[in-house]
Structure 1
């Protein structure tokens, strides 16, 4: 059971980093468009960046929850 939780934790951590990097890359692309004065209103890239950051928060919360479960399980043995 603990091995399974550790694997889930590592997967959640990797997903968090991937979502963070994708969000930052998309944000930087969007920022360069805004610096040039192009676009009016939220673009598809801005919406994608926002979605990636929301996914990062979700994966981060999942990782914290898994850590809590691991610590709770370790305390019971």
Structure 2
């Protein structure tokens, strides 16, 4: 069972890093105009991408934690 879960864990860890880097890249592309826009204008495209990457990172981290928990229970 660990032969299947360890590669899944590695894949989840890679996806966490990828989504983190994409989120940081979207943050870096945000311009000063995006930050100074009125709130009534709604979120910009880069702000929506940042949120999307944050939720993806949280999801991948959660899956990785579940995989680690399964590995710990399976090793007993």
Q: TM-score normalized by structure 2?
A: 0.86
Contact 2:34 2:44 in 1 (8 A): no
Tell me whether 1:16 sits opposite 2:16 in the alignment.
yes
Give unmatched runs, 5+ long, in structure 1. none
Q: TM-score normalized by structure 1?
A: 0.85
Contact 2:13 2:60 in 1 (8 A): yes
| Other-structure match for 1:46 | 47
Give unmatched runs, 5+ long, in structure 2. none
What is the aligned length? 74
The RMSD of aligned alpha carbons is 1.7
